[in-house]
Amino acid sequence: MPMHNPACEIELSPAFHDCDPMHVVWHGNYFKYLEIARCALLQRHDYDYPQMLESGYLWPVVDARIKYVRPLRYQQALRVSAEIVEWENRLKMQYEIHDARDGQLLTRAMTIQVAVDVTSNEMLYQCPAVLWQRLGVPAP
């Protein structure tokens, strides 16, 4: 059964404080843009970080990779997309950042999050049922 709304796209423009003296976004700030898109996608499923905690789980990022294809620049109009591509044993998302005007690909990235039980502080080896329910997919 396919998931409802597995992807989300947001628009933003880098602020001056995100840039280096050459008006290029500092490489570490790209992760902030990915986080904004990830939260927008999780909000669509009513399972953003406050709901994750309420359900008894923390979801730390345990792996993150990024490919800087072209630089992001001060006030450049951007489209940042996030898509859930795995949810069985981990929550894996893929991202792309495009120039909003010409559609040119600027960045590719992925993150992996795992469920950690709030009470025991133990990592789960299968995602909890609440994630499956929120995503609208059948549990294993």
For 56, 69, 114, the CA distances from 6, given in Å and listed in that order, are: 23, 24, 18
Q: What are phi and psi of 50, to 5 degrees?
A: -60, -40
Contact in structure between 33 and 15 (CB atoms under 8 Å): no
Residue carrying the six token digits 């609208």: 136
Which residues in the chain show pLDDT less than 70? 1-5
For residue 93, give the nearest of 110, 76, 73, 107 by alpha carbon. 110
β-strand pairing of 57-58 with 116-117? antiparallel
- Predicted confidence at residue 4, as pLDDT, reads 63
- 40 closest CA partner among 76, 6, 17, 87: 6
Burial-class residue 67 by CB neighbours within 10 Å (0-12, 13-18, 19+). exposed
Question: Yes or no: is domain 7-135 CATH 3.40.50.620?
Answer: no
Per-residue pLDDT, 3: 61
pLDDT for res 1: 44
pTM, entire model: 0.92
- Domains in the chain: boundaries: 7-135
Q: Is 84 in a helix, a strand, or coil?
A: strand
